[in-house]
Amino acid sequence: MTKYVTFSRNVFVPVTNVCRNKCGYCTFRREPNEPGSCFMSPQEILPILREGKKVGCTEVLFTFGEYAEEIPQYKQWLGEREYNSNVEYVIDLCKLAVKIGLLPHTNAGVLNYMELEALKPWNASMGLMLETTGTVAAHSNCPGKIPQLRIKTIRYAGELQIPFTTGILVGIGETLDDRIDSLQCIANLHEEYGHIQEVIIQNFMPKTGTPMEKHPSPTLEEMIQIVSIAREILPSDIAIQVAPNLIDPYLLIKYGATDLGGISPSTIDWINPEAEWPTVEKLQEMLRDIPLRERLPIYPQYIKKGWYNQNLNSLIKSMADGEGYRKIS
């Protein structure tokens, strides 16, 4: 079992929840004129960043509906602010975050090589969930959930040496063979490029009002099984992450999980708003005798390799200790 378990403190910013995909399990997505839809401006985001910095966060997680600019209302909203694309807007948000003193981690869905290349100088790390290489009914109305497209984005990130987060979503209709194939795909990409810093093993949670509201969650036994398999398949330098607001992590850590992801002291989990983040004190209580260690959104090995732009150099150096973990002040 691991000597310690890592986590980061982050600010979760849902820049927009309009999305071209219509996943069967999602409550994050909204139509542009639907109650709860959001197009967040810098003026709205700035106080969230400042509050996050104030309470000790090192990371800002910028999350979007995928290719939101394919939605005419969002495209118009961007144009009114003199942006030609969502990536242009994200870059300015990342610059704003760095100025405040937070390291950006952008999760904007499927991106092409040029988009990732443009975002890299202002991101400490980036991410895209593979979810599954299988074909599932939950993704039938999702042009961005075609596995080959997502694999291509993860591959591009490797070519660009971007420290990357990916993962699988367990229990959305995929088979055990699909889960194993997904993990093997991720392992193969990492063996080629060395850029996967963590793989999330996330358990599906049914949500009221979605087509999958009566679909069962995976059992604890299923989660233990796939975490164990992941530890066998994935190279040892890839962290296995589980979500402590969705499942008790203790047994999963005993079977190979090593990270608890980003925990926000100031914002909710906008993807799973019903699931409150545990405090750091509660995390330690959940782990019993296993020590916690705080990290940055970029893992120590990538700090040592210098896989980040000089734009982030002074900020990373001010936050990281000699081993690349969060400096204890």
Residue 260 lies in a domain: yes
Return d(Cα 325, Cα 309) in angstroms, integer.
18
Task: Provide the pLDDT confidence category of residue 186 given band limits of 50, 70 and 90.
Answer: very high
- 147: helix, coil or strand? helix
Contact by Cβ (8 Å): 283, 244: yes
Number of domains present in the structure of the chain: 1
Q: Please check the confidence at residue 300 and state whether its pLDDT lies above 80.
A: yes
Task: Provide the pLDDT confidence category of residue 71 given band limits of 50, 70 and 90.
Answer: confident
Return d(Cα 47, Cα 66) in angstroms, integer.
25
Return d(Cα 217, Cα 172) in angstroms, integer.
8
Domain that includes residue 120, residue range? 5-319
Residue 325 lies in a domain: no
Contact by Cβ (8 Å): 106, 94: yes
State the pLDDT at residue 310: 96
**pLDDT tens track for 219-273:** 999 999 999 999 999 999 999 999 998 899 999 999 999 999 999 988 877 788 7
Radius of gyration of the chain (CA): 18
Residue 146 lies in a domain: yes
Q: Please check the confidence at residue 1 and state whether its pLDDT lies above 80.
A: no
Residue 241 is part of a domain; what is its CATH number? Answer: 3.20.20.70
Q: Is 280 exposed, middle or buried (0-12, 13-18, 19+ CB in 10 A)?
A: middle
